[in-house]
Amino acid sequence: LRDNRIELVRASWHELSISVSDVSLSDEGQYTCSLFTMPVKTSKAFLTVLGVPEKPQITGFTSPVMEGERMQLTCKTSGSKPAADIRWFKNDKEVKDVKYFKEEDANRKTFTVSSTLDFLADRSDDGAVVSCRVDHESLNSTPQIAMQVLEIHYTPLVKIISSNSWPEEGQSIILTCESKGKPVPEPVLWTKDGGELPDPERMVVNGRVLSISFLNKTDNGTYRCEAKNPIGRNSTEYVLIVHDVFNTLLPTTVIPSLTTATVTTTVALTTSTTTSATAISTRDPNALAGQTGPDHALIGGIVAVVVFVTLCSIILLGRYLARHKGTYLTNEAKGAEDAPDADTAIINAEGSQVNAEEKKEYFI
């Protein structure tokens, strides 16, 4: 062996040791140690040299990428022997659906390995860290990693948040328009029912916040928040319904009776004060879950009594009419059995004035 990189470390009758510095692929091969005796004795060993892969590089990324576009990232490394393994990660989560390629280098001893990651850009990928990791036995469990931070541009995402879930007359409400996009959206635009805000004195816009004071029924409607950036625009709506002032009823005491009922009710009214007047609204029946209803049992009893009295009256009247009719027929029939005609029967009837003292009439 005649090479400056090869050094004799130990030489004795029992041992001969050499060292090789700056090992290269050309050092791979069979090494023979000979003992010059009669006969000559030899021992052989084959040296395998690993090709260390170069640091990987990620190509194919152009910043920024629009949402919905297809991205193809390629990770490549050369000089590995045997061929290295490449794995993809997105935010420390491994991506399995990738393509793997391997080819020999010009020296026909090492390999160039590449892998391609293909996916559609999404707004959730903005700011994500994509890494390419190369594993090889020559790296002593310390893989080589290349990283790329994604930058995705997308249209604004708009959302309206209300400060009051049950707005009532006289109260105030704050509507906040949250808009997220890249690039950052311009100041939002507030409209009501497709037009400008009708009352700028009470409806104040401060950046993304719409404040409405002293609510009334005229404020009911659909409020739209629109945000835009160079990529596009988006909007969302909020339907505002102003409710009557909510009244709270204290417990109600009811004293039932057959004919009358005394009801004592204490009502606490919630008032709303403005700069010009104090408004007290009436009770909203729909808002009272425990409102006392009519006594159906009492009403049914009264109806039953009325029906019973009516039936009794009809029966008594019928009996009276029947008896009166029989008496009339009986008086008329008395003395009519032997009478030859009706006139005689009437004369002979009991109670007739004919049987009374005969009266005489004189004509002058």
DSSP 313-361: HHHHHHHHHHHHHHHHHHHHHTT-SS-SSHHHHHHHSTT-TTSSPPP--
**Residues 91 and 174 placed together within one structural domain of the fold:** no
Specify the CATH number for the domain of residue 102.
2.60.40.10
33 part of a folded domain: yes
Mean pLDDT: which of 8-17, 40-49, 295-304, 326-335 is highest? 40-49
Q: pLDDT tens across 93-132, in order?
A: 999 999 999 999 998 899 999 999 999 999 999 999 999 9
Which range marks the domain in which residue 106 is found? 57-150
Examine the fold and report which residue of 125, 150, 175 is the final residue of a domain before the chain moves on: 150
**217 in any annotated domain:** yes
Q: What is the pLDDT of residue 103?
A: 95
Single residue among 240, 265, 285 that ends a domain in this structure: 240
Reported confidence tier of residue 262, pLDDT bands at 50, 70, 90: very low
Residue 78 to residues 128, 137, 180: CA-CA distances in angstroms? Answer: 27, 15, 42
3-state SS, residue 297: helix
Q: Are 145 and 161 contained in the same domain?
A: no
**Dihedrals φ, ψ of 344, to 5°?**
-65, -40
Is residue 19 predicted with pLDDT exceeding 70? Answer: yes
Give yes or no: residues 106 and 140 share one domain: yes
Same domain, 90 and 73: yes
Does 326 fall in a domain? Answer: no
Contact between 146 and 132 (Cβ < 8 Å): yes
Alpha-helical regions (H) of the chain: 296-333, 342-348
Question: Pairing state of beta strands 29-35 and 41-47?
Answer: antiparallel
C-alpha 61/C-alpha 200 separation (Å) is 48
Higher-pLDDT residue of 345 and 280 is: 345
Residue 121 resides in a domain: yes
Q: What is the mean pLDDT of the chain?
A: 81
- Domain identity same for 183 and 199: yes
Q: Is 137 a member of any domain?
A: yes
Phi and psi at residue 251, in whole multiples of 5°?
-55, 140
Choice between 290 and 30, residue whose per-residue pLDDT is larger: 30
Say yes or no: 101 and 70 in one domain. yes
Q: In the chain, how many domains are there?
A: 3
Q: Of the residues 240, 269, 294, which one is the last residue of a structural domain?
A: 240
User: What is the secondary structure of 40-69 as a DSSP string?
Assistant: -EEEEEEE--PBPPPPPEEE---SSEETT-
Same domain, 97 and 122: yes
Q: What is the DSSP string of 128-146?
A: -EEEEEEE-GGGTT--EEE
Is the domain of 27 the same as that of 77? no
Task: Give domain status of residue 314, yes or no.
Answer: no
Please indicate, yes or no, whether residues 28 and 79 belong to a single structural domain of this protein: no
Verify that 22 and 85 share a domain, yes or no.
no
- Report the SS3 class of residue 7: strand
Instruction: Tell me if 295 is assigned to some domain.
Output: no
Predicted pLDDT of residue 363 = 67
65 shares its domain with 108: yes
Contact present, 56 and 76 (Cβ < 8 Å):
yes
pLDDT class for 265, splitting at 50, 70, 90?
A: very low
Q: What percent of the chain has a predicted confidence (pLDDT) above 70?
A: 75
pLDDT digits (tens, 9 = 90+) for 175-220: 999 999 999 998 899 999 999 999 999 999 999 999 999 999 999 9
Of 54-63, 313-322, 340-349, which gets the smallest average pLDDT?
Answer: 340-349
Q: Does 182 lie in the same domain as 143? A: no
User: What pLDDT was estimated at residue 276?
Assistant: 34
Average pLDDT over residues 139-147: 90
Residue 272 lies in a domain: no
Please check whether residue 216 is in contact with residue 242, taking contact to mean a CB–CB distance below 8 angstroms.
Answer: yes
